[in-house]
A and B are shown apart, each in its own frame.
Chain A
């Protein structure tokens, strides 16, 4: 997979604000667990965005697990029609909150904003500049980082794993500040916990993605230790992305390879035991027999699963296209 596309300077570099004249920016804030003062978030990002345009709106999405939106924010939204608040009735997670925010927003440019300070809000301008210069997605990267070795260690371990299984060279997918053109956001199919991989998924769809280094906010430097379950989920996410990248169109290439390896090994073991039996050596009390039989049956099961996957992919084929046209003559 190629890295973030090198940005081609725009043919006629317009003034910093002029290109935004016909665009509206929606700032989507998914509030799930960790938050800083949301009114402060609103203040600082509104200040940062209003240096480039006056056409913007905020969409706060409160996940069900978070509880009711804070009163200060509710009061603001009553006074300012550019603030809208959605609340989930149930805990659906950050990806669902983002999706709901995207669906409710009306802007042509979408800015996802973490509900806590990760980078300096002024960095929004640099992300928008990247969009002006031809990128379709621009994501922030916390650099230079201010936090301690533990945070950096777990972050870099995550990214090394992601790079290992699916290529791409993004350095900070945990950073929630991203700018997307609306059509990109709508064409990406996000579910589960895939929001973290937005730059990777967009790159895979052939969009131009830029990664912009922004200074980390001092408030983000606290050491973070998660529950063990969170780490397991991150690992599962990486496996999902790996499978999505390689085998969504060809499940049998994955299950088939795995299944036939197991089937072959099991077959060899049972064959060897059969030969021994024919020579008169008893096999009834051999644990190897159990292993061989187990592998045989596992192999058949995996192959069968792959075939069912292939049927599902085949049935879906008339509805999806495996390409995206960039331009025609």
Chain B
């Protein structure tokens, strides 16, 4: 990294754009962003992150790069949108960081509006795509369901998590360590850290060059990731509590099966009441509850060990 994060002499705004096989979009994108920002934002930089493209994306980035304003970062291999965005965030020097799609579907003219909203005192401002130009059945319907599900599960009422046009304050980003496709859940993750979140309507255009890298196959992954998201936003600081609460469910089931067996015993007497199904079920659920509690302990141990290592490094940093 050339300069440490949060450089006070850095520009006002860093625009981070992850690109994967978007060779044809590089030059038009840079042109339209500059046209949209010059005169409106005093000082800005563009960070074009080439996510291990196999086409001419990097050559094109190099040809448009300038020492101060347009910077290119080339990753060693294709790591996906989240890690590519993190690369951009880590190299960004601006006090405000704005992320944008590399495919020209977001309109850079919306950036000033998003920034204005951020100035009102928010930490994250998300774009909300109006009149989306994507396929209805394969893109918009799953996206609508996913957004409702995320809002319901996390309690963060963002209507368009998938829009890449977002603006963040730097100091928030420094605490946000994203990995493995978490870019969809940025609002929820940020909210779990106490960030104030706003949403502004933005334009959306159809793709001109290149083709979409999304498909329906990610639905299952998103569903699984949602479970993780719910768990880490709710319980990452105290996993044992989370597992204890979960263990209440099998414990309740065990109690009800046990109770049912007792009732059967009293009604039919020990000779006729079945001694396998009901007590067996009760025991099974007791065992499951116990197992979940033990897992909670393991999670707690993991958390504890991690905290010790981070506190160790932190104290060293203070010494320096």
Chain A interface (Cβ < 8 Å from any Cβ of B): 204-207, 249-250, 252-253, 256-257, 283-285, 289, 293, 296-297, 300-301, 304-305, 307-308, 310-329
Contacts and interface: CB of A to CB of B under 8 A. Distances in A.
B224 A311 contact: no
B314 to A, nearest CB: 11
Contacts of B61: 329
Interface residues of B, number: 57
B194 to A, nearest CB: 17
B244 interface: no
B177 A253 contact: no
B288 A206 contact: no
B232 A284 contact: no
Contacts of A252: 224-225, 227-228
Contacts of A308: 295, 298-299, 302
Contacts of A313: 179-180
Contacts of A305: 295
Interface in B103-122: none
Contacts of A320: 179
Given A322-B86, A329-B62, A304 B295 contact: yes
Given A250-B225, A316-B306, A321-B86, A311 B236 contact: yes
A325 B74 contact: yes
Interface string B222-250: 00110110011000100100010000001
A306 B7 CA distance: 39
Contacts of B177: 317-318
A296 B232 CA distance: 24
Q: Most chain-B Cβ atoms within 10 A of its Cβ — which of A300, A323, A329?
A: A323
Contacts, number: 133
B295 A328 contact: no
A293 B228 contact: no
Given A300-B288, A304-B292, A326-B75, A321 B83 contact: yes
Interface of B: 2, 52, 61-62, 65, 70-77, 79-80, 82-84, 86-87, 90-91, 177-181, 220-221, 224-225, 227-228, 231-232, 236, 239, 243, 250, 274, 276-277, 280-281, 284, 287-288, 291-292, 295, 298-299, 302-303, 306, 309-310
Contact of B232 (A301, A314, A321): A314
5 contacts: A250-B221, A250-B225, A293-B284, A312-B299, A328-B91
Given A297-B287, A322-B179, A328 B73 contact: yes
Contact of A284 (B90, B274, B299): B274
Contact of A310 (B84, B220, B228, B276): B228
Contacts of A206: 52, 75-77
Given A325-B74, A325-B87, A329-B72, A297 B277 contact: no
A204 B75 CA distance: 13
Most chain B Cβ neighbours within 10 Å, of A252, A257, A296, A300: A300
Given A297-B284, A311-B303, 13 more contacts: A204-B77, A250-B224, A283-B277, A293-B281, A300-B288, A300-B291, A307-B299, A310-B232, A312-B302, A313-B179, A315-B236, A319-B309, A326-B75
